[in-house]
Amino acid sequence: MVEPRPAAAEHVPALPVPAPVPAPVPPEASGPAGAIPGFEMLPDVPPQGLVRRFITTQRHLIALAFGALVAHAREGQAFGSGRRFRLLFWLERLLAALVRPFLDKQIAGRPFPVQLRRRLEILGPTYIKLGQVLALRQDILPASITDELKNLLDRLPVVPFERYLRMIEADVGRPVGDMYSWVDPIPTGSASIAQIHRATTHEGDSVIIKVVKPGIRETLTRDAVLLRLLGAMLQLFLPRYRPSQLIREFVEYTRREVDLRREADNAESFAANFHDLPGVVFPKIYRQYSSRGVLCMEFLAGYKPGAPETQTLSDEDRDRLVDLGAASIIRMLFKDGFFHADLHPGNLLILPGPRLGFIDLGMVGRFESDLRRTFLYYYYTLVMGDAEGAARYLAAIAIPGPGADVNGFRREVTEILLRFNRAGSFRDFSLAQLIMRSVNLGAQHRLYFPVEMVLMVKALVTFEGVGQILKPGLDVAAVSRAHANTIFRNQFSPQNLIQQVMRAGPDLLEAVAKAPSLITEGLRLLEQATRRPENPLAGLRGTLFGGFCMVAGAILAGAHGPWPVWAVLFAVGIGAALHRSRS
């Protein structure tokens, strides 16, 4: 996102910004009517109201549904054999012929995945962003759809430069000329939410300015309401694909991205987490020039992994970059539980040193401590070749749906991993794709995974891809093993165990304080129950109660629950058993 502007734009003169009011864009820089070479202009119109937006959205949704019908009829896919299915097939073809004249021929004449992509592009930035998120859900959606959604536009219309400067002043509350000595009139990039330009501060620092486009917040708020309604409706017809959950996840992640203060917080959190690894760099944030809708951050002067400059790197530099990449990804995922959730080669930079730079930090993923540990155990057993252990931990991550077949899922995953282990090396296949293949089996067994799992796989895919560019034939598992071993050992270091005990201190003290009264009360209830010999089930009830307590304690212990709780349950169960034996 902060790479130098394209070579095609190098001939465009830069625009100095005098204080206090920026000068207008020179005609040679902006072209006629303020146009910017290589970009369409964003129309200066207010966003649609909720009712009008609803009508527009429903029109495209209905057109997409009929377009899918036309595509299915055109491809000649029968519903099955038999007279009844042949009748349904001919009814479908008749209905498709009736609705075809009312559809856009350029869209309806394409396969359904292409129709879906084009409709999302027409509906605008919110739906383009939705499509980009859906492209990651290879664990739920068919590959034909996710592959097509990866082609969504990423070079979207821009606002005119003068308006861009006015937006900065309105949001930050300061004249642009008081902050910057120069702002490039040619955007570095324009995505669905923000527009980016290069600039230089009065202190002489090279920075980029990221500004949320006008109307995005209002459009997103209205679209969120409509999307939730759409998700609830689709959930009735397509429960297998969990549309309601997908849309809920998208709305939450996009809402965070629109507030650029969150991206500033993310960048500073990453920098703090990696303070002891100087080879990994995150852009510095200029808080004095930033606000909710404007983010000013350091320009990292580097190049993408696939750039021609990569060919000039020595083998030693390549090894260092691959090691830094492995250390970064594994630390984010399994140590910090705070990771870059929109990682792709365009968001990685190779800096002098060599060092590795991460940019575009608006979308992050977070793992809770228990989930992070389970992810770590899964990844550790995977790279260590323990197929059964990896299948067990992967099943523990999944969320069972109605009719879930956990045992069947574990058997299939184990077989896949054993088959790859017998190959003797991870060198000949993608570790990330192996994980995704295992995750894809979940939908077949009615098991679903949190979105963080898919984002984790995306980070691993990016690391693998960049690693193969730097070191063709790279054994990703071998590189990952050493870093995973280090983090795994640190999980059980005395210092880490002490910290976990200290964090659980209040709960521990409360449980210890209440344990005597709980045990006494439990024994008193048991004693009262056993004083009724006229009831032949009294002894059985006491025995069952004690057995239940011990089983519940064992379950909590196996699930890594708070040890004071399961310890008390064990004590009550044992006390009940002893009481019965004495009587």
| pLDDT per residue as tens digits for the range 57-112 | 889 888 988 888 888 888 765 445 555 667 777 888 888 888 888 888 888 888 99
**3-state DSSP call for residue 213?**
coil
pLDDT at site 446 = 85
Q: What pLDDT is recorded for position 324?
A: 93
What band does 268 get if pLDDT is binned at 50, 70 and 90?
very high
Q: How confident is the model at residue 575 (pLDDT cuts 50, 70, 90)?
A: low
DSSP secondary structure code for residue 336 in this structure: I
Question: Using the 8-state DSSP alphabet, how is residue 331 labeled?
Answer: I
238 or 373: which leads in pLDDT: 373
Phi, psi for 363 (deg, rounded to 5): -110, 115
Mean pLDDT of 361-367: 87
- Assign 346 a pLDDT band (cuts: 50, 70, 90): confident
- pLDDT for residue 212: 94
275-298: average pLDDT: 96
Question: CB-side exposure of 504: number of CA atoms within 13 Å?
Answer: 15
**Planar angle of CA 105, 107, 111, nearest 5 degrees:** 115
| % the chain with pLDDT above 90 | 26
Start-to-end CA span in the chain (Å): 76
Given a contact cutoff of 8 angstroms between Cβ atoms, the answer to whether 245 and 133 are in contact is no
Average pLDDT, the chain: 78
With 60 as the cut, is the pLDDT of residue 303 above it? yes
* Closest of 129, 154, 159, 145 to residue 223, by C-alpha: 129
Is 228 a residue whose pLDDT tops 80? yes
Q: What are the backbone dihedrals phi and psi of residue 99, each rounded to the nearest 5 degrees, phi first?
A: -90, -15
The predicted model gives 562-571 an average pLDDT of 47
Tell me the Cα Rg of the chain.
29
Hunting for tokens 């790197």 — which residue is that?
Answer: 313
pTM to 2 decimals? 0.70
Distance CA 466, CA 582 (A): 69
- Residue 449 contacts residue 442 (beta carbons within 8 Å): yes
Select the more confidently predicted residue: 259 or 237. 259
| 273: pLDDT strictly greater than 60 | yes
CA distances from 307 to 56, 303, 304, 384 (A): 42, 6, 5, 34
For 418-427, the pLDDT digits (tens) are 887 776 554 5
Q: How far apart are CA 330 and CA 582, in angstroms?
A: 55
Q: Model confidence at 5, in pLDDT bands (50, 70, 90)?
A: very low
Mean pLDDT of 359-370: 86
Lowest mean pLDDT, pick from 117-121, 301-305, 535-539:
535-539
Q: Quick check: 399 pLDDT over 70? A: yes
437, with CB counted inside 10 A (0-12, 13-18, 19+), is: middle
Among 528, 532, 526, CA closest to 546: 526
Q: Which of 102, 99, 134 has its CA nearest to residue 120?
A: 134
Residues 259, 221: Cα–Cα separation, whole Å: 13
Cβ atoms of 436 and 457 closer than 8 Å: yes
What per-residue confidence (pLDDT) applies to 18? Answer: 42
CB within 8 Å of 353: residues ≥ 6 apart: 279
What is the mean pLDDT of the segment spanning 506-526? 67
* Residue 117 pLDDT greater than 60, yes or no: yes
Statement: residue 557 has pLDDT above 70 = no
The answer to whether 208 and 188 are in contact (CB under 8 A) is yes
Q: How far apart are CA 107 and CA 114, in angstroms?
A: 8
Span 436-451, average pLDDT: 84
pLDDT of residue 83: 58
Least confident interval from 126-130, 326-330, 543-547: 543-547
Q: Is the pLDDT of residue 52 over 80?
A: yes
